[in-house]
Amino acid sequence: MAAEYKEISPSAPAGEQLLNWIDNRFPLSKLYKEHLSEYYAPKNLNFWYFFGSLALLVLVIQIISGIFLVMHYKPDATLNAAGVPVAFASVEYIMREVEWGWLIRYIHSTGASFFFIVVYMHMFRGLIYGSYRRPRELIWLFGCGILLVMMAIAFTGYLLPWGQMSFWGAAVIVNLFAAIPIIGPDLALLIRGDFVVGDATLNRFFSLHVIALPLVLLGLVVAHIIALHEVGSNNPDGIEIKKLKDASGKPVDGIPFHPYYSVHDLMGVGVFLMIFSAVVFFAPSGGGFFLKYTNLIPADPLVTPAHIAPVWYFAAYYSMLRAVTTEFMYVLTAAVWLAAFHGIFRAGFGTQGKALVLGGAVVGSLMMLGLDAMFWGVVIMGAAVVILCFLPWLDRSPVASIRYRPTWNKYLYGAFVINFFILTYFGVLPPSNISTRFSQFGTLFYLGFFLLMPWWSRWGDFKPVPSRVTFTPH
């Protein structure tokens, strides 16, 4: 069937004629209406909702600055005439010789940290307001996928400067995969491309960082936004605004995203850019958290740094990895048996169910005590991220937003944030008995927060949820 063309008056302004010509061939006006001018968002969104648009802004900053860096960077681990790795020398060339190269590099390195800051804040907003609950489970899953790909991009990009911390950090993390039974050594060899971290590893990581992973990330971001605009945005009250509409079919508690929130977000963008610029120009290293000082030394496979620490946004998970010692496995085994006893005596399982739970506890205990603690450290480190994907099904609270949950929930969420900061802090410090103990308690709290959520999320007295969003004009 031939396409239906929309005709306008030949005397119409040139701009309208051009737009009509485009609309007859590409749904530009339709996309504008569906995703901006006629996309209705709740009228009570607060500052927590800045971080979604800020994440998109930082993504654009990272892509543009990355393109300019790639123009001058050489992924080559061989030594030049001065005995310096070519990759490291190319970064120094960008910093010292390329016009405004230092600024581009600092924008990209600072942007990596700010990307994780705004995404962590964005996810925490979803956590406290229940943005992962029905019908937004798929939005949350796309978001968790974005976080995982971001981590992969950050990890592969961290090797590219080919400094001491880059080299040895990559060597340590890749060697962790070798702890996986049976397939571990081959998997580590596949990732490295060689028996040691070298030129093959650098080129593989460069290809993943520049081409493959960003394409996956962009696809997930588009899917995330499409899914969001399909079911609509959540709000601090956790109320579905689509349930109450006026005679024209528009939500009575909603307002068009454009111009209201597009202009509203400009305030958040302005504040963000001021903070971002201040860090780029006055503290690009972030006190050693954004750029490791050890990474200013060329990579040397023969000299191991005194302390190998990850970048801050990986530190909490690295702390969980180091927390898993042989003695800690006994604690985890005891936790498995406590869960098994609960299933046997409290959960109301039948005879077959009790037998399965008991058999699972026995097998789990044998695996935990029979396999190396390093393997379980890798498992727990990965589980700490993957468990976020199951949040829509772990939360059994009758209300979505923390506003209408028991007051003690706010203290619990506050403790969760403090615990994450403590894990991050000890993750960047050299290992010690004190840091190990704190990391172990922090790991148990982190995992317990999610694994016990089906029970604690239902406890307490819940406040009545209003039928309409609470909103005070300002």
**CA distance linking residue 181 with residue 418, whole number of Å:** 34
Nearest Cα to 102, choosing from 284, 274, 277, 273?
284
Q: Which ranges of 160-300 would DSSP assign to H, the alpha helix?
A: 164-177, 184-192, 199-207, 213-231, 262-282
209 is in an annotated binding site: yes
- The structure tokens listed for 376 are 């379980």
Specify the DSSP element, H or E, that contains 368: helix 351-370
307 among annotated binding-site residues: no
Numbers of helices and strands, H then E, in the chain = 19, 2
Phi, psi dihedral angles at 39 (to 5 degrees)? -90, 115
- Residue 167 · residue 299 · CB < 8 Å: yes
Task: State the angle between helix axes of 312-323 and 407-427 in degrees (0 to 180), rounded to the nearest 10.
Answer: 90
Which tokens is 454 given? 């089906």
Contact present, 391 and 450 (Cβ < 8 Å): yes
CA gyration radius for the chain?
A: 26
Would you say 264 is a known binding-site residue?
A: no
Strand partners, 40: 256
Residue 251 β-bridge partners: 245
**What CA–CA distance (Å, rounded) separates 12 from 366?**
79
Angle at which helices 50-70 and 101-129 pack, to 10 degrees?
A: 150
Residues 6+ apart with CB under 8 A from 142: 220, 223, 224, 227
- What Cα–Cα distance (Å) separates residue 207 from each residue in 204, 225, 410? 5, 26, 44
Whole-angstrom distance, CA of residue 24 vs CA of residue 15: 14
Binding site for heme b, by residue number, is: 108, 122, 209, 224
| Sequence ranges of the binding site for a ubiquinone | 229
Annotated binding residues, written as ranges, equal: 108, 122, 209, 224, 229
